[in-house]
A and B are shown apart, each in its own frame.
Chain A
Amino acid sequence: MPTTPTYAFSRDAGNNRLILLLLSIGFAAVVAAVVAVVVVQKQAERDAYWVEHTLDVEAALNRFVRHAERTETARRGIIIAPTETNFVAIAEKAIADASRELAGLETLVRDNPSQVRSVEGLRLAFDGYARQARTTEAEAKLGILKVGSLDSDATVSAIRHIRTYADEMLRREDALLRQRNQAQDRTRSLLSAMLALCGALIVGVATAAILIIRRNIREIDANRRELHVLNQELESLVDERTAELQRANAEIQRFAYIVSHDLRSPLVNVMGFTSELDAARKVIGEHVLKDGDDVPQTVRLAVEEDLPESIGFIRSSTQKMDRLINAILRLSREGRRTLAPTRVSLADVVQSIVDSLQHRIDETGTRVELGELAVIETDRLAIEQILSNLIENALKYLHPGRPGEIRIASKVAHGRVNITVRDNGRGISPRDHERIFDLFRRSGMQDQPGEGIGLAHVRALAYRLGGLVEVSSEEGQGSTFTVSLPLKFQSGVADA
């Protein structure tokens, strides 16, 4: 007997839990990686913003320096040609532009305290310079402009201051730009790394999932195959057992047949010579009685009473034995008969049995009622014998002083038919419910002729038809015999 696969299933359950856990961890890692990528991406965006910001600051600073230089150029123009008024306009516009750029710069560098200070310095320097430029304009207007050395001009140093501040700021911003570019590069490579990691994780988890699924499918396949093999083994086991049962049954049938035959032979002698003995006794008896009173009383008694009595007992016992042997023979012969399944209308079968018993039914005043009766596929002779035995019994064991009522019906359910023969007869004591199906066993008052064969026969037949017979009964109330048969014929016990 191969081991059952139960343990394999429980091992799988543990494995599956582990696999589920690992897969969950894998998916969690993928989610975490995606979140990390998003975070790094945001960081990269921030870095890009800051790089742009630095570039903006530099651009603004350059624009401011250009406007400042332009102001100086315009002022010099005024100095050279005090009467040319459009230099003044140029100077004013440049001053306004520079101031605007400075204000813009101020807002741009608000985050950086050192640059704020530098911008502050720039403003002071430019404001000073702008004042001098305006003074130059005013003097030119009034014609009191006196031109000294440009080198010693105070504005030159102011411009120089502005340049220095601006250069310093640019330097700082350049440093920042380098820093920020580096940060941006770092973040970018981090992002690539994260993306690669994320991709690797996804590929890994997917591969693992596929591998696990493939393995599970293989295991399921293997289990299915194993199950199939087990099923086949089970089927062959059942076949084997059935064959064994069939052999055992055939053996019993043969045994019963041989025994009953061999028992018959001596019985013929016992009965034959008993008859011969009786014939001899009659001869002696006639001779003895002819002699009249000379015969002693004991001899007369022996011949007239003892001998006939003994012979009578031998005869009745042998006859009983003969009936029993015949019953066994009949059962064994019935067991050897080949069943021929045909479509049988139970209603027809029951009706013909009732017709054959009509005389006895009328005699006892019994009412026989036929309920719904199905059409089934079975051996006609066997079902006839089963039902006629049951109906005859119902008619035989009536309750004294109560008119009999017998009801025969059938009910179909789950591919089987349950045929019930119900009576209101004398009933069967509960302790006899099993016994009555045994050969030569009878129940209750032995006031009816019979050998105790009918129900044994019924049960043997029911088994052969792939069915069962059961009784439910209450003493004094009646009995119900139920025969359960398959709707479609299937041999129960093999033909011997």
Chain B
Amino acid sequence: MPDQLAVNIVMVEDDEGHARLIEKNIRRAGISNAIHHFTDGTSALDYLWNDPHGPAHNGPALVLLDLNLPDMSGLDILSKIKGDAHLRRTPVVVLTTTDDKVEIQRCYDMGCNVYITKPVNYENFAEAIRQLGLFLSVIQVPDAEGAP
């Protein structure tokens, strides 16, 4: 599936441990797409918009977003992506510990595509990420430029 291979996964996650666990389980699901990991909002935004290999300039991408970041809220990143003409079609998967109904609603209102609560129980967590991996393997991601 050459189309899917081109998709970059941008992971914005401040907890190194979580990031490692997510990556491990995505790989276990058989997903080999490149994963770009950022531990803060500023560098993630910089990559999304300015990096020559970033989604704004080069090909489709999928964003895995944590809401609790040290320098800003994940919601700020979400609103920036969904408010940008180039990036607004980029799928955003919010992956966070918050399971507050109001927060979930707000994310969907702002255009988040999938909202996943990180289960504390590791078996469930691993399972959820693996399923996300399977989901990623079949999902069609549009180009940022709107190209087919």
Contacts and interface: CB of A to CB of B under 8 A. Distances in A.
Interface of A: 261-262, 264-269, 271-276, 319, 322, 325, 333
Contacts of A275: 122-123, 126
Contacts of B24: 276
B121 A271 contact: yes
Contacts of A269: 15, 17-18, 21
A325 B97 CA distance: 12
The 9 nearest A-B residue pairs measured at CB = A269-B17, A271-B122, A275-B122, A272-B21, A264-B97, A272-B122, A322-B120, A267-B120, A268-B120
Nearest to A267: B120
Chain A CB within 10 Å, residue with most, of B15, B97, B121, B122: B122
A268 B21 contact: yes
Contacts of A261: 68, 97-98
B118 interface: yes
B121 to A, nearest CB: 7
A190 B123 CA distance: 121
A262 B98 CA distance: 10
Interface string B114-140: 000010111101100000000000000
A265 B69 CA distance: 12
A275 B126 CA distance: 10
B120 to A, nearest CB: 5
Interface string B18-29: 100100100000
A268 B17 contact: yes
A268 B97 contact: yes
A273 B17 CA distance: 8
B112 to A, nearest CB: 18
B100 interface: yes
B15 A273 contact: no
Nearest to A329: B99
Given A274-B122, A322-B121, A265 B21 contact: no
Nearest to A262: B68
B108 to A, nearest CB: 19
A265 B18 contact: yes
Contact of B17 (A264, A272, A325): A272
A265 B97 contact: yes
Contacts of A267: 120
A381 to B, nearest CB: 14
Nearest to B66: A265
B16 to A, nearest CB: 9
19 contacts: A262-B68, A264-B97, A264-B120, A265-B15, A265-B18, A265-B97, A267-B120, A268-B15, A268-B17, A268-B118, A269-B21, A271-B121, A271-B125, A272-B125, A273-B17, A275-B122, A275-B126, A276-B21, A322-B120
Contacts of B100: 333
A237 to B, nearest CB: 34
B117 to A, nearest CB: 10
A423 B118 CA distance: 41
Contacts of B118: 264, 268
A266 B18 CA distance: 9
B21 A273 contact: yes
Given A274-B122, A275-B122, A322-B121, A268 B98 contact: no
Contacts of B68: 261-262, 265
Most chain B CB within a 10 A radius of its CB, from A264, A269, A272: A272
| Residue of B21, B68, B118 ringed by the most chain A CB atoms within 10 A | B21
B82 to A, nearest CB: 24
A187 B35 CA distance: 131
Interface string B31-59: 00000000000000000000000000000
A281 to B, nearest CB: 15
A434 to B, nearest CB: 32
Interface in B85-118: 97-98, 100, 118
A261 B15 CA distance: 14
Contacts of A276: 21, 24
A256 B86 CA distance: 40
Contacts of B21: 268-269, 272-273, 276
A322 B15 CA distance: 18
A267 B120 CA distance: 7
Given A261-B98, A333-B100, A268 B123 contact: no
A475 B114 CA distance: 53
Contacts of A262: 68
Given A265-B97, A269-B18, A322-B121, 13 more contacts: A262-B68, A264-B97, A268-B97, A268-B118, A268-B120, A271-B120, A271-B125, A272-B18, A272-B126, A273-B21, A275-B123, A319-B121, A333-B100
B77 to A, nearest CB: 18
A168 B17 CA distance: 151
A272 B126 CA distance: 8
A260 to B, nearest CB: 10
Contacts of B97: 261, 264-265, 268
A211 B118 CA distance: 83
B67 to A, nearest CB: 10
Contacts of B17: 266, 268-269, 272-273
A262 B100 CA distance: 14
A333 B24 CA distance: 33
A351 to B, nearest CB: 29
A262 B69 CA distance: 12
Nearest to B100: A333
Interface in B57-87: 68
Contacts of B15: 265-266, 268-269
